[in-house]
Chains A and B, each alone.
Chain A
Amino acid sequence: MAKLDPRDWDSHPSYIYPGYKSTVKRGPTKPLIPIKASMAELRQPVYGHDSIGELDHDLTRNARMNGEPLGERMILTGQVLDERKRPVRNTLVELWQANAAGRYVHKVDQHDAPLDPNFLGAGRCLTDSEGRYRFLTIKPGAYPWGNHPNAWRPQHIHLSLFGEHFASRLVTQMYFPGDPLLQYDPMVTGTPEKYRNRLIADFSLDITEDGYALGYQFDIVLRGADETHFENR
């Protein structure tokens, strides 16, 4: 049975970080109990190419009603690796984000900015044989939130992955280089300072497509294990 590399507690935010107010009543307060992973934590969900639609990775096209979504087109791509720098192949990457105006389709989002009838803001894909994923989308806008006076979330894209194990699960957000809001955002500042830059994508002229879209590279590192599973492939 595989033995997992530990969750690197230094790299992750704490459960309770008062700067992000809602953590105070929601994060566990008692010490976690360390246990050896069983198969339940070592499995990854099974899914195949038949659960991924042809346009699921292309948010500029996967929700069109009567035209193209508004905003700056962008490409988001990167490699998913484990801590031993092995590519995580054929793994599901799910993505969701606000539209160019900083508004989410979610019914609870009541920010006074326009919805875009041609943009849902959700996508998914599987990584390839080198662990690479690629999305086409629209650069999300910043938006206000109620955490503290004049609080604004930096532009960001939400990402969700499992990797090879239930226990290598990661939900994260990628941010854009040079965003002046990063220093004020408690989700960013709740992350240990030394590792915050792992949340910030690189702008890449190599990924940028001439006449079409700007390119950003965001590589993702998941917990590894001392053996890899192949039975789900």
Chain B
Amino acid sequence: MLMSALQTNFGQTPSQTVGPYFAYGLAATQYGYNFNQPFDDRVALEGARGERIRLVGRVIDGDGKPINDAMVEICQPDGEGHYPTSVEDAKARGFRGFGRMGTGTDAHNRFVFQTVKPGANAAGEAPFVGVIVTMRGMLLHAFTRAYFADETKANAEDAVLAQVPAERRGTLLAQRSEEGGQVTYTFDIHMQGERETVFFDV
């Protein structure tokens, strides 16, 4: 028997904010609490197929300030466009395909994922990373995607990017840089303002 509210009023459970204190529950190891966490910054492990990159960014509020209590989760395929299908598959390929980081431990309030550049998963689709962002001050999370600025041709042919007004497309492009052999893609998420990131109803 369902709980009483759902017997007469069945439907999606409303979202509520993750609040300011999620760290020891959802990202305990990252924040130094004595509890483990099922997902972290390591999306690609040793042996993962694809170009090794860091996906780095900040989450920025309507005043232009980096937010220090946001949580970012990502989902992506490996460099061959393959999503892990099981725990065994993830272990065999050294690729988890999923990451979670709070923005409260980095000195610049960045999220920093250790991953590989994803391959396209389907024909006609540009490579991208699915992103969920949530925080204190959001009663429900938002979905966005990080595309790769250097994938000019694939991006130009991507059906989802084509739905985004041209002047806002740039908010979805992670920018490549290289230093000492380390490849970084930077993807800042602007919650509001002139450069407000495109969020999707997916």
Which residues of A come within 8 Å of B, CB atoms? 4, 6-8, 11-15, 17, 20, 22-30, 32-41, 43, 45-48, 50-51, 53, 62-63, 78-79, 83, 85, 92, 94-96, 98, 104-109, 120-124, 158, 160, 166-167, 169-173, 187, 190-192, 194-202, 217-223, 231-232
> Known contacts A11-B14, A25-B61, A35-B200: does B139 contact A190 (CB below 8 Å)?
yes
Top 5 A-B residue pairs of the complex, sorted by shortest distance between their CB atoms: A96-B25, A22-B137, A40-B130, A13-B139, A25-B62
Which listed residue, B11, B19, B34, B141, touches A158 by the CB 8 Å rule?
B19
CB-CB nearest in chain B for A201: B3
Report the Cα distance A30→B83, complex, angstroms: 31
Contacts of A200 in B (CB 8 A): 5
Contacts of B136 in A (CB 8 A): 22, 26
Which listed residue, A23, A92, A172, A192, touches B138 by the CB 8 Å rule?
A23
Contacts of A96 in B (CB 8 A): 21-22, 24-26
Q: Tell whether, in the assembled complex, residue A33 and residue B163 are in contact, meaning their CB atoms are under 8 Å apart.
A: yes
Asked if B17 CB lies within 8 Å of chain A CBs, one says: yes
> Known contacts A104-B21, A221-B11: does B5 contact A33 (CB below 8 Å)?
no
Contacts of B33 in A (CB 8 A): 105, 120, 122
Report the Cα distance A233→B33, complex, angstroms: 30
Interface of B, secondary structure class, is loop
Known interface pairs A26-B135, A46-B90, A172-B13; 6 further A-B residue pairs with C-beta atoms within 8 A, sorted by A's residue number: A11-B14, A39-B77, A51-B38, A167-B202, A171-B140, A221-B6
Q: Tell whether, in the assembled complex, residue A195 and residue B89 are in contact, meaning their CB atoms are under 8 Å apart.
A: no
Report the Cα distance A173→B67, complex, angstroms: 22
Q: Tell whether, in the assembled complex, residue A173 and residue B16 are in contact, meaning their CB atoms are under 8 Å apart.
A: yes
Contacts of B84 in A (CB 8 A): 46
Report the Cα distance A197→B20, complex, angstroms: 24
In the assembled complex, 20 residue pairs joining A and B whose CB atoms fall closer than 8 Å, in A order, are A24-B62, A29-B196, A32-B199, A35-B163, A39-B122, A40-B77, A40-B83, A41-B130, A96-B22, A96-B26, A105-B24, A122-B24, A171-B18, A172-B13, A173-B17, A195-B9, A195-B11, A199-B13, A200-B5, A202-B5
Asked if B121 CB lies within 8 Å of chain A CBs, one says: yes
Which residues of B come within 8 Å of A, CB atoms? 2-6, 9-26, 28, 31, 33-36, 38-39, 61-63, 67, 69, 73, 75-77, 83-87, 89-90, 96-98, 121-122, 125, 128-130, 132, 134-143, 145, 160, 163-164, 191-192, 196-202
Report the Cα distance A64→B83, complex, angstroms: 38
Task: Give chain A nearest CB distance to B190 CB in angstroms.
Answer: 9
Q: Tell whether, in the assembled complex, residue A198 and residue B6 are in contact, meaning their CB atoms are under 8 Å apart.
A: yes
Contacts of B134 in A (CB 8 A): 171
Report the Cα distance A28→B119, complex, angstroms: 29
Contacts of A17 in B (CB 8 A): 139
Contacts of B24 in A (CB 8 A): 96, 104-106, 120-122
Q: Tell whether, in the assembled complex, residue A187 and residue B139 are in contact, meaning their CB atoms are under 8 Å apart.
A: yes
Report the Cα distance A123→B25, complex, angstroms: 7
Which listed residue, A7, A43, A108, A170, touches B83 by the CB 8 Å rule?
A43
Q: Tell whether, in the assembled complex, residue B128 and residue A169 are in contact, meaning their CB atoms are under 8 Å apart.
A: no
> Known contacts A11-B12, A40-B145: does B25 contact A122 (CB below 8 Å)?
yes
> Known contacts A20-B139, A27-B191: does B34 contact A63 (CB below 8 Å)?
yes
Which listed residue, A47, A95, A171, A219, touches B15 by the CB 8 Å rule?
A171
Which listed residue, B5, B17, B38, B143, touches A41 by the CB 8 Å rule?
B143
Report the Cα distance A85→B136, complex, angstroms: 30
Report the Cα distance A198→B140, complex, angstroms: 15
CB-CB nearest in chain A for B64: A25
Q: Tell whether, in the assembled complex, residue A32 and residue B76 are in contact, meaning their CB atoms are under 8 Å apart.
A: no
Report the Cα distance A30→B168, complex, angstroms: 11
> Known contacts A120-B34, A198-B5: does B122 contact A158 (CB below 8 Å)?
no
Q: Tell whether, in the assembled complex, residue A220 and residue B13 are in contact, meaning their CB atoms are under 8 Å apart.
A: yes
Report the Cα distance A195→B164, complex, angstroms: 32
Task: Give chain A nearest CB distance to B8 CB in angstroms.
Answer: 9
CB-CB nearest in chain B for A124: B38
